[in-house]
Amino acid sequence: MNTVVLLACTGLGLGALYFLVASGLSLIFGLMDVLNFAHGALLSIGAYAAWWAATDGGLGFWLAVPFGTAVGTAASVLLELALIRPLYARPRDQILATVGVGLALPALIMGIWGADARPFPQPAALAGTVDVLGATVPVNRFVLMAAALVVLVLLRLFLAKTRYGLIVRAGVEDRAMVTALGIDVRKAFTLVFAIGGAAASLGGALAGLYFGSINPGQGTGLLIFAFVVVVMGGMGSVTGAAVASVGVGLVQQFANYYTAAGLGDLSVVVLLAVLLLVKPRGLTGRLA
Amino acid sequence: MTETLLAVRELKVVIDGLHILHGVDLDVAATGVTALLGRNGAGKTTTVKAVMGLVPRTGSLVFDGTDIGRLPTHLVVRQGIGYAPEDRGIFGGLTVAENLRLAERDGTPAYDLVFELFPELKQRHKQAAGTLSGGQQQMVAIARTLLNGNRLIIADEPTKGLAPKIVTEVADVLARAAETVPVLLVEQNLALVRRVAGHCAVLADGRTAHQGNARELLADEDAARRLLGVGSHRPTAPDPEVSPR
């Protein structure tokens, strides 16, 4: 029982991390048809910026996380304005550009801070464990779950209550028609990139907490599973991404523990294949 | 024809190497309904999409003295052009109210007018637009063009696929809207054209084949058959019939 609870909490924590990456990825693809392979690099930027602020910057963990998130958000906006926007008419070049950034940024980080994992400072309040149904679960699992939940609620409020949320929801359905109502949809593009970058870089900063350390390839490693989540959840659906994140995180943890290490990662891909065979449009019925 | 509000000259559209429009000339009158006619595949929908900037285009597009030929779609609309596309362009996952709210631009949206013309939309404002009937969806599409103080409304086959009773309703609304705002109407329903249109242009194979008075054209059986492929010598019946396609 203890093991099941621990695995469930760890799986949910990992699922929370996937959601932070996948929510932005899903909105970006749903609205703009952009497959952003640089999204993992945004997570790495958030992670290293938060780590730098908490160590060399001397900011302390609670300021380092918003700092990392802000840097990642700025990088995401810059990416959209400088690289994605000029290539909207050339989708293939756009994909290649994001792949390039996705490879170059981790390499740059490696060049500056080295390939080795860097220990991520853990604040005393979050370093401990809590007892859940007899299992000893690290507190940081719950931090990730809480962060993902807050992001989910904020995103849903944004989509449901604001004019830009309305534009994003409409744009996911039919982007051309949104412009035909006199709306400059490019502003929504930049905003969605900012939101996606913020969530991913927050995920990066919290990934340091979850794994205890950060390394340059972390973002790219998580990106693969985030893509699985996006496809399963239905492109453009934030709630779908949340449900799929939980599923993927749990399946991965349980399979890795009860079968052989590494099979959990594989089982996620199998899960995706099965889901796409049964429901080709993803969990939410949107085109996957 | 009275004054020209929108002058289209030598409009050409090439998509994926295919020449869709070879040079369309079109004058949209500053009052009333201008009909854009032609057989299926003549280039009517492409012409209005090109005006809206939804497809890449070359040629001259002058709207009330302003060159709109190089403007992106959202700025064409912001010149004061409301567009109800052929497939209605409704956001099915959004409610009726959200569909209308999305169309709001500057100033005060004319909800009073919209709900007076389409009281049904007020009752159904919380309903997902995707669950509306075709006629109701068309009402949303037209309502979106009436919300703002547009200077031109472009409606692409607004009666396509609708029941005869709804066709009459849509025709009434268009006729009423045209009293205050000029309308460019793409339509295959010639009875409707005969009822509401003043000026008309006929396209054939991506070119303008004819421009003139709509009723005169439809009264001339030979010309109508030659240009539109139909005999149109019918009494000007008050009940619009769907013409053969």
Length of chain B: 245
Contacts of B72 in chain A (CB under 8 A): 179
Q: Are B203 and B210 in contact (CB under 8 A)?
A: no
**Which of B51, B102, B142, B147 is the best residue to mutate to test the A interface, defined by the most A CB atoms within 10 Å of its own CB?**
B102
User: How high does pLDDT run on average in chain A?
Assistant: 91
Within B11-110, residue ranges assigned H as helices are: 44-52, 73-78, 96-103
Compute the radius of gyration of chain B from its Cα atoms. Answer: 17
Res A123: pLDDT: 87
Place of tokens 């730098």: A52
Q: B157 vs chain A: nearest CA distance in angstroms? A: 16
Beta strand pairing call for A135-138 and A213-214: unpaired
Are A166 and B102 an interchain contact pair (Cβ–Cβ within 8 Å)?
yes
The Cα of A194 is separated from the nearest Cα of chain B by a number of Å equal to 22
% residues pLDDT > 70 (chain A): 98
Separation in Å, CA of A89 to nearest CA in chain B: 11
Residue B6 is inside which H or E element, if any?
strand B4-15
Q: What are B's interface residues with A at a Cβ cutoff of 8 A?
A: 52, 54, 72-74, 77-78, 83, 85, 89, 91-94, 98, 101-103, 105, 144, 148
Residue corresponding to tokens 């994003």: A168
| Residue contact A180–B85, C-beta within 8 A | yes
pLDDT band at residue A31 using 50, 70 and 90 as cut-offs = confident
Q: Which of A181, A184, A185 sits opposite B103 (nearest CB)?
A: A181
Residue B244 pLDDT > 60:
no
In this complex, the residue of A170, A176, A179 whose CB is nearest that of residue B94 is A170
Instruction: Judge contact between B196 and B174, C-beta under 8 A.
Output: yes
- Alpha carbon B17 to its chain's center: 27
Residues of A in contact with B78 (CB under 8 A): 182
Q: How confident is residue A285, by pLDDT bands cut at 50, 70 and 90? A: low
pLDDT value at residue B237: 44
DSSP alpha helix (H) spans, chain A: 2-32, 39-54, 61-79, 91-113, 124-127, 139-161, 163-173, 175-179, 185-211, 218-233, 238-258, 263-278
Task: Give how far B10 is from chain A: nearest CA, Å.
Answer: 23
Task: Say if CB B79 and CB B68 are below 8 A apart.
Answer: yes
**Chain B contact set for A169 (CB, 8 A):** 91, 93-94, 98
Chain B interface, mutation test: which of A179, A181, A184, most B Cβ atoms within 10 Å? A181
Q: What is the mean pLDDT of residues B195-222?
A: 92
Q: For chain B, first and last CA: distance in Å?
A: 28
Please give the single-letter amino acid code of residue A77: V
Chain A residues in contact with B101 by the CB 8 A cut-off are 163, 166
Instruction: Name the closest residue on chain B to residue A168, using Cα atoms.
Output: B102
Measure A283 CA to nearest chain B CA, in Å.
16
What is the predicted pLDDT for the residue at B153?
97
CA distance A24 to chain B (A): 20
The residue among B63 and A123 whose pLDDT is bigger is: B63
Angle, alpha carbons A16-A19-A21 (nearest 5°)? 120
Contact B105, B148 (CB under 8 A): yes
Q: Is it the case that residue B235 has pLDDT exceeding 90?
A: no
At B84 the pLDDT is: 96
Q: With bands split at pLDDT 50, 70 and 90, how would you rate the model's confidence at A124?
A: confident
Q: Is B100 a residue whose pLDDT tops 80?
A: yes
Q: What is the pLDDT of residues A37-78, one digit of tens each?
A: 999 999 999 999 999 999 998 888 889 999 999 999 999 999
- pLDDT reading at B232 higher than 60: no
Q: Rounded CA gap, A135 and A129, in Å?
A: 10
User: Who among B74, B92, B144 is closest to A173 (CB)?
Assistant: B92
Which of B16, B52, B54, B73 has the highest number of chain A CBs within 10 A, making it the mutation to test binding with A?
B73
A236: left (phi over 0), alpha (psi -120 to 50) or beta: left
Residue ranges of domains in chain A:
23-220
- Mean pLDDT of the region B2-8: 90
Written as six digits, the tokens of A126 are: 């979050």
| Chain B residues lying within 8 Å of A181, measured CB to CB | 74, 77, 102-103, 144
| Mean pLDDT of all residues in B198-224 | 91
Closest CB from B77, B92, B93 relative to A181:
B77
Contact A180 B83 (CB under 8 A): yes
Say if residue A134 is exposed, middle or buried (CB neighbours under 10 Å; 0-12, 13-18, 19+): exposed
**Res B245 pLDDT > 60:** no
Confidence bin at B136 (pLDDT 50/70/90): very high
Every domain of chain B and the residues it spans? 4-228
Q: Which helix (H) or strand (E) holds B208?
A: strand B207-213
Give chain A positions within 8 Å (CB) of B54. 176, 179-180
Counting other chains too, the contacts that A224-229 makes at CB distance below 8 Å and 24 or more residues apart are A225/A18, A225/A252, A225/A265, A225/A268, A226/A18, A226/A21, A226/A22, A226/A25, A226/A39, A226/A40, A227/A22, A227/A25, A228/A268, A228/A269, A228/A271, A228/A272, A229/A18, A229/A19, A229/A21, A229/A22, A229/A26
Instruction: Report, as an integer, the average pLDDT of A203-209.
Output: 93
Label the pairing between strands B81-84 and B152-156: parallel
pLDDT of residue A286: 56
Nearest CA in chain B to A165: B102
Domain B4-228: give its CATH superfamily: P-loop containing nucleotide triphosphate hydrolases (3.40.50.300)
User: How many angstroms separate the CA atoms of A200 and B31, rounded?
Assistant: 54
Instruction: Nearest chain B residue to A179 by CA: give it.
Output: B74
Is A68 within 8 Å of A50 (Cβ atoms)? yes
Residue B46 CB contacts under 8 Å (≥ 6 apart), including other chains: B13, B20, B21, B55, B206
Kindly state the tokens that stand for A206. Answer: 């919290």
C-alpha distance from A229 to closest chain B C-alpha (Å)? 22
Q: What is the predicted pLDDT for the residue at A273? A: 87
Q: Would you say the pTM of this structure is higher than 0.90?
A: no
Sort out which chain B residues have CB atoms less than 8 A from A173's CB and list them: 91-94
The Cα–Cα gap between A239 and A286 comes to 12
CB contacts, 8 Å: A178 with chain B: 102
Q: Cβ contact (<8 Å) for B77 and A166?
A: no
The Cα of B225 is separated from the nearest Cα of chain A by a number of Å equal to 34
- Cα distances (angstroms) measured from residue B21 to each of A3, A168, B41: 69, 33, 10
Query: Taking a C-beta distance cutoff of 8 angstroms, is the pair A12, A249 a contact?
Result: yes
pLDDT band at B236 (very low <50, low <70, confident <90, very high): very low
Task: Answer yes or no: do B72 and A179 touch at CB < 8 A.
Answer: yes
> Minimal CA–CA distance to A72: which of A239, A200, A221?
A200
Query: In the prediction, which pLDDT does B155 show?
Result: 96
